[in-house]
Amino acid sequence: MTSILILNGPNLNLLGRRQPEVYGRTTLAEIESRCRAHAAAIGVDLAFAQSNHEGALVDAIHEAAGRHDGIVLNAGAYTHTSVALMDAIAGVDLPVVELHLSNIHAREAFRHKSYIAPVAAGQICGFGPRGYVLAMDALAGLLAPGAS
């Protein structure tokens, strides 16, 4: 069965508890349970993780090779700063869908730059928690036999 890792970066553990005007009231645990329900519905295995530490995210990307078939990555603020995450993605042969809750292109200029985008299969942003399910579908579609 196709296996997907959803990997979340720094501060996303605070979702639903702080800054609801920016990121909404849905917690990361609620997002995980929506993703698990969707994984069951579309017939994929799902691993879901979060770390506040750049090196731990690099390790998780390396370890995904051989365990999972692709990654949905919300790298949080590391999106805009991390050459290490970009190099980690480039160093594994796995498709990555870049995901953001907010529309990073409609926010501050420093959020318009993504180090993930050049090494990602594609980017989904601006759809809130529903973006996670959209990203799962995008990745599952890429991984489906005969996908083009």
Binding positions for ligand CA2, rule: CB under 6 A: 11-12, 14-15, 18-19, 23, 74, 76-77, 79, 100-102, 104, 111
Q: Which is nearer to ligand CA2, 135 or 140 (CB)?
A: 135
3-state secondary structure 46-94: EEEEECCCHHHHHHHHHHHECCECEEEEECHHHHHCCHHHHHHHHHCCC
Judge whether 23 counts as a catalytic residue: yes
Q: Is 105 a catalytic residue?
A: no
Measured from the CB atom, the residue of 19 and 33 that comes closer to ligand CA2 is: 19
CB environment 22-34: b (16+ within 10 A), e (fewer): ebeebbbeebbeb
CB of 86 to ligand CA2, least distance (A): 15
User: Closest CB to ligand CA2 among 41 and 77?
Assistant: 77
| DSSP β-bridge partners for residue 100 | 125
The residues annotated with a catalytic role in the active site are 23, 100
